[in-house]
Chain A
């Protein structure tokens, strides 16, 4: 039974500038002493703060929030790419991440070779890959293009291939980061149908996307993140509506705060 349990999860991400990545400076800094601290700076971004979440089988969660709110960070914690700085992370079940559609794709390799490579990276055995090969090839509708290097493909073709590879396995926990909503219409309808099929077979789904209509169809719950903090988690309609509702801002009438004459910045007009 798939399950996600996060308790007071915090993730701090260190960002190193060029100086901080230099061993020479680090050693010099120590040798010369505090005054000439040239060691460079490490900025720490608190990407997630005290986030607690419980998800069980049947939960299809939409991750909503502005850019930089921590959606990608959360997905990467769930797929074990980022470690937790504090708190507990418990993820039960096989995780299928779909963060970048072109995972590990080698531009000079053919479509078929890339299917094998991606399958291997994602842990499929050679037997599993070979038995799914026909199904994948058919889904892409790329025909004999599959025998040609991938660098000749258009963006739409690339996405078709990547999507076919990504959705061939039945995941227990599926994580998707902004990949959907890209591509041509006809493919999109088909990809969507296939995605829905896979999602029915997955036990838990977490999707980060700005494409609201897709999220509304796919998800029954939504999680709203703002600057790393969980604002609201609950029924998808409720939370997504709350997220989309613009805040009402009250302002005072202009003349009470700033005299008009002082405010005029136009060149040539004397301020008096």
Chain B
């Protein structure tokens, strides 16, 4: 029994990571597809996110009566990171459907289809996080050594996104009515998570942010870039969700891998 379990994990999960040449190419090609024959190519992503942040930042800074020099850098990192999490989550529901033609012809590790979706969103993330540089310069955000902590933060977001993507890809290929639920949940979470407002604004209800793992994940990238180390609680939440979530995803994978091809 353990042999079969180890076999499945090795074959679908680990070999999935090792097939980076395949999912790297597929994910990158997905992006090239979208921007073929366009003027700026993938940098349209950067431009549109930049405009969105600027507009939102100016309007909301006024609405919340906050100093724009503080609000805009905070908003830009939060929105870009949230963009990655939200899009990767909703797109992973269709990871196996997207790869249907390949999946039904040649045996590739299931991880390939999942990691492809996450990877293309990673590429988009790096196209949009660069917006923070001109924003930081414009509003005199002090660069500190803490900024390097954003890198392990990004790594933890990636690890957590991978297990979520696996779980959703598997569940949504079996039950086709889950995806709309995921889309709605993601939209709701965007308002429940401090991205367009500060945690402190919640006052006594700050626990709403504290119990939200997404808040902690975003903080791991946002706080360092803005010059402060993230709270220890955020590291703890991110690491524990990574461990528990990955275990869940592997257990689900072992149980369902033999049937996925029939669900797609």
Contact indicator A103/B175 (Cβ below 8 Å): no
| Contact pick for B105, options A16, A18, A100, CB 8 Å | A100
- Asked if A86 is an interface residue, CB under 8 A from chain B, the answer is no
A residues 88-129 touching B (CB-CB < 8 Å):
97, 99-100, 103-104, 106, 108-109, 116-117, 120-122, 125-126
A21, A22, A122: residue with the most chain B Cβ atoms closer than 10 Å: A21
B262→A121 contact, CB < 8 A: no
Asked if A197 is at the interface (CB within 8 A of a chain B CB), the reply is no
Tally of A interface residues using CB under 8 Å: 31
Minimum CB–CB distance for A128 against chain B, Å = 11
Is A24 interfacial (CB-CB < 8 Å)? yes
Known: A13-B262, A22-B176, A121-B22. A103 touches B102 (CB 8 A): yes
Q: Per a CB cutoff under 8 Å, which of A16, A18, A23 touches B178?
A: A23
Decide: A117 and B29 in contact? CB cutoff 8 A: yes
Quick one: closest A residue to B173, CB to CB?
Answer: A21
A156 close to chain B: CB less than 8 A:
no
* A106–B29 touching, CB < 8 Å: yes
Q: Which residues of B contact A116 (CB under 8 A)?
A: 25
Residue A14 at the B interface, CB < 8 A?
A: yes
Closest to A42 in B: B262
Q: Please classify the interface of chain B as helix (H, G, I), strand (E, B), loop, or mixed, using the class held by over half of its residues.
A: helix
A97 contact set on B, CB distance < 8 A: 105-106
Q: How far does the alpha carbon of A141 sit from the alpha carbon of B255 in the complex, in Å?
A: 48
Contact in complex: B175, A22 (CB < 8 Å): yes
A32 at the interface (CB under 8 A from B): no
Instruction: List A residues at the B interface (Cβ < 8 Å).
Output: 13-16, 18, 21-24, 26, 76, 79-83, 97, 99-100, 103-104, 106, 108-109, 116-117, 120-122, 125-126
Asked if B175 contacts A81 (CB within 8 A), the reply is no
Distance, CA A99 to CA B101, complexed state (A): 10
B259 touches A14 (CB 8 A): yes
State the Cβ distance, B230 to closest chain A Cβ, in Å: 36
Partner of A83, one of B104, B105, B258: B258
Known: A13-B262, A21-B174. 7 other contacts (CB 8 A): A21-B175, A21-B176, A22-B176, A76-B104, A80-B107, A103-B105, A117-B26
Q: Among A13, A121, A126, which residue has its beta carbon within 8 angstroms of that of B106?
A: A121
B36's nearest neighbour on chain A, judged by CB, is A108
**Cβ 8 A contact of A120, one of B22, B33, B105, B178:** B22
Distance from A74 Cβ to chain B, minimum over Cβ atoms (Å): 14
Give A82 to B104 CA distance when docked, in angstroms: 8
Q: Mark B7-48, 1 if CB is under 8 A from A, else 0.
A: 000000000000001100110010001001000000000000
List 15 A-B residue pairs with CB atoms under 8 Å apart, sorted by A's residue number: A18-B176, A21-B175, A21-B177, A21-B263, A22-B176, A23-B175, A79-B106, A80-B107, A81-B103, A81-B105, A104-B102, A109-B29, A117-B29, A120-B25, A121-B22
